[in-house]
Amino acid sequence: MQWLLVVCLGSTPCVMSTLRNRGTAINNEPCVNDRIHVPKVRLVGPGGEQVGVVRTEDALRLAVEANLDLVEVAPNSNPPVAKLMDYGKFKYESAQKAREARRNQSNAQIKSIRIGLKIDEHDYDTKKNQALRFLNSGDKVKFDLRFRGREQSRPEMGVRLLKGLAEELAEVSTVEAAPRADGRNMSMVLAPTRRKTEAKSDQRRRREAERAQRKAKAQKRADAQRGTATGTEEPQN
């Protein structure tokens, strides 16, 4: 058997609890419409405008007239703050944003790049450009540096090398984990400033632009061939 308990006392938020057997699942939601039991609220309009302190019954009347909901958004204020909004739309958009945030977090990968303390200029540029591609694609980059022999006694050189990479990649990234030594190893993590979805959107737009360009060139060649076949070849520039 299942019971649904709705509690809304004073200025405390509504708590909808589903009790099943001995387990308890709690889903906190704000008080909405006639579940708001306080005498007065500080009312905020649908566009964010401050209406002022009004009686709750008057705020409910305004909500009905505007075909909106009255939602208690700050129950612990004195008096509580309530806003006129489409609560169903608000819940839907909030759920969409939460899913998008989870998707961005799960899609982001950490790409590892190994470097040495005595890296030459060519390899340095290669590793830096590799990191740049990963960051522009919305992925994090972890630089793994390994000290060899006596290099372990000069950790400041590793810090200087990693910080130099971070500075050169500062336009597309931020330092999520500063250089940190662990025995013979030192690592640093850079996070992209753009989200994975934004990077994918840019890549998709570039691919579409390239396809359109190839299509235009193919059409131009086809037109030129038809002109040659009919003896009306277009003049060359």
| For the chain, percent of residues with pLDDT exceeding 90 | 47
Region 130-141: what's the mean pLDDT?
A: 92
Contact 199, 137 (CB under 8 A): yes
pLDDT band at residue 12 under the 50/70/90 scheme: very low
What per-residue confidence (pLDDT) applies to 119? 93
d(CA 6, CA 45): 26
Question: Predicted confidence band at 10 (pLDDT cuts at 50, 70, 90)?
Answer: very low
Reading the block at residue 177, the tokens are 């984990």
Strand order of the β-sheet with 69-74 is 50-55, 40-44, 81-85, 69-74
pLDDT at 105: 58
The third-level CATH classification (topology) of the domain covering 2-98 is Ubiquitin-like (UB roll) (3.10.20)
79 preceded by cis ω (within 30°)?
Answer: yes
Tell me the CATH class for 108-192: alpha beta
**What pTM value is reported for the model?**
0.42
Q: How far apart are CA 182 and CA 34, in angstroms?
A: 59
Q: Looking at per-residue confidence, does 153 or 41 come out higher?
A: 41
What CA–CA distances, in Å, run from 160 to 27, 121, 163, 179? 49, 15, 5, 9
Q: What is the pLDDT of residue 5?
A: 34
Would you list the DSSP string of 111-136?
A: EEEEEETT--HHHHHHHHHHHHHHHH
Averaged pLDDT for residues 103-115: 78
Both tokens of 49, joined, read 């405008």
Where does residue 51 rank: exposed (0-12), middle (13-18), buried (19+ CB within 10 A)? middle
Question: Average of pLDDT values for 5-22?
Answer: 40
Indicate where the chain has its CATH 3.30.110.10 domain(s). 108-192
Give start-end residues of each CATH 3.10.20.80 domain in the chain. Answer: 2-98
Residue 229 DSSP one-character state = H
> What residues have CB less than 8 Å from 202, skipping those under 6 apart?
none
Tell me: the pLDDT tens digits for 187-235? 999 999 876 546 555 666 777 778 878 888 888 887 777 776 666 555 5
- The C-alpha atoms of residue 17 and residue 106 are separated, in whole angstroms, by 30
On whether the CB atoms of residues 66 and 58 are closer than 8 A, the answer is no
**100 vs 91, residue with greater confidence:** 91
